[in-house]
Structure 1
Amino acid sequence: MSDKAVTGGSRRSLLKVGIVVLQALVLIGIALSVYAVGWFGKDIRVRTVPVDPRSLLYGDYVTLGYDISRLDPSLWKDTARKPEKGQPVYVVLKPGADGIAQPVGAYGSKPMAQEGEVVMKGRIDNSWREEILVKYGVEKYFVPEGTGKTLEDKASRLIVHMKVAPWGQAKIEGLEERS
């Protein structure tokens, strides 16, 4: 057998191994990004608003709506462009007197957070003159079997504990009922 045939076969094998390793690294990176939010994220609390959570396909879960998902257009600070559907948005949140996070600004690119603030990344779901609707990727919360209906009834009285990573990704840590 010639040296060229051996070298060509070795290169193909090496390429196959490289592709498998690359795929494994991508999957590990995705899994680590979720855990990294818990490790590096800052705690915030947000108030929920009622949403109908019915779906037979996903099992028991609660669809959560947040008061921080409905932004007043005056919070938009990006003067270079207007908010558009599908556009990434960075919402600056600061705890109010009651400890619940309140939006203080919305930007088209990531701003620097001041002391006591967190920057949560979302996507503009829709934008009107009256409000900007934002989805953060934490609108579904999976719950133990049989508890979804109970939480649905309490949706307007829930406080959600989240962690928000420095890069803006959020993760739900738990729910509590406010008095």
Structure 2
Amino acid sequence: MALSKLENLYRHVILDHSSHPHNYGTLENADEQIELNNPTCGDVITLQLAMDGDIIKQAKFSGHGCSISTASASMMTDVVIGKTKAEALALAEEFFLLVQDKIEPNEKHLGEAIVLNGVAKFPARIKCATLAWKALERAIIQDKKEKGEEQAESPHEGEIL
């Protein structure tokens, strides 16, 4: 079965982010760092955030994973830089719903990450797509706990997306 032009474009965007990930590397002065892995396929990500008060000033990731995991981390860092912690958490929640096919894609919010809505058709790949976003959520929750801010618990704690 041939891919439609739109599916081909989406595939190209994912492969481009996977081959040439944005914000890949390490931050010398990270305020938060978290490492997560996906034991079902071996993906490992280390996410680092540099904060300016409540704003995510920089976000970088390193590690290794499949093309979906790497592309998702690249897209996630692009979207959250410059956002507040609350905005980033809302984007993570929107992404979790998107890849479970529970909402329509909204490019205005999620940017190129909307192309990952197709993983909803492949439940085993949802964990790959959400790994970086889960790391983002946990890093922000960790930052809030360290600063004694309210709502310092993950709404997805214990869940495997």
TM-score (structure 1 length as normaliser): 0.26
More strand by share: 1
Larger helix proportion, structure 1 or 2?
Answer: 2
Scaled by the length of structure 2, the TM-score of the pair is 0.28
Highest RCO, 1 vs 2 (Cα 8 Å, sep ≥ 6): 1
